[in-house]
């Protein structure tokens, strides 16, 4: 039975709302409904609405771009579907509804001595959003992305209603949903593999480099640590451009002393609360973006670089601030003012380091005002046609959306990235040209065929999907 036959009713009274991603650009006028049950999700998929409008699910709104908005159409808020259904300590599995956040999952798992194997840079992402974007963390080179740890998904599709899928029962749909940007169905529940949490700390090594060549040489070696990431200073001039603070870490062993002298028991009791703690401060709505300018960021970068140790080994760091450094400041995206920010993330395959260096040179030559740059290695690709990570180097940069010449410079970067077999991350994109998508993601025909099966009426639509030709009228 199709969803249309199940129900024609809307799930709740709609609210007309202007939505955008975390970057605060590309606003969309949408009708927003709140899902309180799986039936509400089915009702939203089966509702009568004007042709060409459609519906897309939305979680915490932490995708930087336009993947969870639908200009002129409907958006289904799924954050109320946040119940953690079960935790199986023996089998190391957790089942939760799609609206549960990474923070909620981590806090509940900690009570059972368990943790998530992969987390992103913020604890506020929902489970469904993590699946749709196939999020990755500082340990992709060792553990892969989020997709690798998903066991099964309960998915509501326009064609078939609620279905339970896994790698054995419907591998094509299962993998397409991992990184599928919400365009294969609405994730209402999922089961993940989790792992033992020996202690809510990591033991970190830090190195400070003096320039890009030194940074690349340090990070090109065999990585023995589970977690690895580099903060880059891309505003420094001359040979200092690309100087970095490279942090590599492993889980702290159970029973090892923490900086305060507490051991595992005391640290465990304090840890879940740190995940629910409110930000230390919040950037006000009226913050003038003009205060955040290249000169001030350049000065801050210099202070940050100088404050880091040249070489430090074995420093214990609390887990939450290590994984989620920006969460200490609420609404930090307001720093960029009314124009908002663009986070541009690319991946360049292993063996194409010349093109990687060309990307850095282009950033320098075009004088892009990069206010934050994070650099790390990826392991092998895993997931569906739209999954972002592949074995290589990934760079994420934050830029003020109103910077002069930004659009042209990013177009040049796109060409470089696509030309060497790389790609940009769709979960953070708000401006990629559609003609480059097939080069970056060569399995689009496979994705389109899958969508034709599960969504023949093109019900699932988003601004990202329309802009890149992933959804729309079929011939």
Q: Domain with 156 in it: what CATH number?
A: 3.30.465.10
Is there a single domain that holds both residue 238 and residue 339?
yes
Is there a single domain that holds both residue 325 and residue 179?
no
Residue 368 phi/psi, 5-degree rounding, is -65, 130
Instruction: Examine residue 237 and state whether it is found in any structural domain, yes or no.
Output: yes
* Mean pLDDT per 10-residue segment, the chain (475 residues): 40 86 95 96 94 95 96 97 98 98 96 96 97 97 96 98 97 97 98 94 96 96 95 95 97 75 61 81 85 89 96 92 92 92 97 96 96 96 94 97 96 98 98 97 96 96 97 58
Instruction: Examine residue 148 and state whether it is found in any structural domain, yes or no.
Output: yes
Please give the Cα distance from 160 to 2 (Å, whole number): 5
H/E segment holding residue 417: helix 406-419
* 8 A C-beta contact, residue 272 and residue 111: yes
Instruction: Examine residue 452 and state whether it is found in any structural domain, yes or no.
Output: no
Is there a single domain that holds both residue 246 and residue 389?
yes
Is there a single domain that holds both residue 296 and residue 413?
yes
Angle 375-381-387 from CA coordinates, rounded to 5°: 85
Is there a single domain that holds both residue 307 and residue 165?
no
pLDDT at 2: 38
| Torsion over CA: 195, 201, 207, 208 (sign) | positive
121: CB partners within 8 A, 6+ apart: 137, 323, 324, 325, 326, 374
Is there a single domain that holds both residue 177 and residue 239?
no
pLDDT at 287: 85
pLDDT at 312: 97
Is there a single domain that holds both residue 343 and residue 418?
yes
Instruction: Examine residue 35 and state whether it is found in any structural domain, yes or no.
Output: no
Is there a single domain that holds both residue 214 and residue 133?
no
Is there a single domain that holds both residue 250 and residue 101?
no
Is there a single domain that holds both residue 104 and residue 180?
yes
pLDDT at 167: 96
- Looking at the structure of the chain, the number of domains it has is 2
Instruction: Examine residue 296 and state whether it is found in any structural domain, yes or no.
Output: yes
φ/ψ bin of 164: left (φ > 0), alpha (ψ from -120 to 50), beta (otherwise): beta
Which residue intervals of 284-375 are DSSP H helices? Answer: 294-307, 319-323, 353-365
Task: Kindly report the CATH number assigned to the domain that includes residue 345.
Answer: 3.30.70.2520
Look at residues 173, 197, 221 and tell me which one is the last residue of a structural domain.
Answer: 197
Is there a single domain that holds both residue 348 and residue 419?
yes
Is there a single domain that holds both residue 239 and residue 371?
yes
* 8 A C-beta contact, residue 211 and residue 112: no
Instruction: Examine residue 238 and state whether it is found in any structural domain, yes or no.
Output: yes
Instruction: Examine residue 212 and state whether it is found in any structural domain, yes or no.
Output: yes
Distances (CA, A) of 314 to 253, 278, 311: 12, 29, 10
pLDDT at 8: 39
Domain coverage including residue 118: 84-197
97: tokens are: 């509804």
Instruction: Examine residue 422 and state whether it is found in any structural domain, yes or no.
Output: yes
């Amino acid at each position: 039975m199709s969803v249309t036959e199940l129900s024609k009713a809307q799930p709740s009274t709609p609210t007309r709302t202007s939505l955008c991603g975390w970057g605060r650009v590309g606003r969309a006028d949408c009708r927003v409904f709140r899902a309180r049950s799986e039936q509400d999700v089915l009702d939203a998929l089966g509702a009568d609405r004007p042709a060409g409008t459609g519906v897309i699910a939305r979680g915490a709104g932490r995708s930087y771009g336009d993947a969870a908005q639908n200009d002129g159409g409907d958006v289904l808020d799924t954050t109320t579907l946040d119940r953690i259904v079960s935790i199986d300590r023996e089998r190391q599995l957790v089942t939760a509804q799609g609206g549960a956040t990474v923070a909620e999952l981590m806090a509940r798992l900690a009570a059972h001595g368990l943790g998530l194997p992969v987390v992103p840079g913020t604890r506020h992402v929902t489970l469904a959003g993590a699946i749709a974007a196939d999020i990755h963390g500082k340990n992709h080179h060792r553990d892969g992305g989020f997709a690798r740890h998903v066991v099964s998904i309960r998915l509501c599709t326009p064609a078939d209603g609620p279905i339970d899928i896994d790698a054995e029962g419907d591998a094509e749909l299962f993998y397409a949903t991992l990184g599928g940007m919400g365009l294969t169905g609405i994730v209402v529940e999922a089961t993940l593999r989790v792992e033992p949490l020996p202690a809510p700390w990591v033991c970190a090594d830090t190195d400070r480099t003096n320039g890009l060549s030194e940074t690349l040489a340090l990070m090109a070696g065999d990585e023995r640590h589970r977690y690895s990431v580099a903060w880059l200073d891309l505003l420094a001039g001359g040979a200092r451009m690309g100087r970095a603070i490279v942090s590599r870490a492993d889980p702290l062993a159970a029973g090892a002393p923490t900086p305060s002298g507490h051991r595992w028991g005391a640290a465990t009791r304090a840890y879940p609360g740190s995940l629910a703690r409110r930000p230390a401060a919040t950037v006000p709505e009226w913050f003038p973006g003009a205060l955040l300018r290249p000169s001030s960021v350049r000065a801050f970068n210099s202070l940050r670089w100088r404050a880091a140790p040249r070489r430090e080994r074995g420093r214990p760091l609390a887990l939450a601030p290590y994984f989620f450094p920006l969460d200490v400041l609420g609404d930090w995206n307001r720093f960029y003012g009314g124009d908002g920010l663009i986070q541009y993330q690319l991946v360049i395959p292993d063996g194409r380091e010349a093109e990687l260096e060309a990307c850095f040179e282009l950033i320098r030559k075009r004088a892009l005002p990069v206010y934050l740059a994070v650099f790390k290695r990826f392991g092998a690709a895993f997931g569906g046609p739209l999954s972002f990570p592949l074995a290589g180097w990934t760079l994420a940069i934050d830029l003020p959306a109103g910077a002069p010449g930004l659009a042209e410079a990013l177009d040049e970067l796109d060409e470089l990235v696509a030309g060497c077999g790389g790609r940009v991350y769709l979960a953070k994109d708000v401006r990629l040209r559609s003609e480059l998508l097939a080069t970056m993601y060569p399995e689009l025909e496979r994705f389109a065929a899958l969508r034709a099966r599960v969504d023949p009426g093109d019900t699932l639509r988003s601004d990202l999907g329309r802009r890149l030709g992933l959804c729309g009228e079929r011939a």
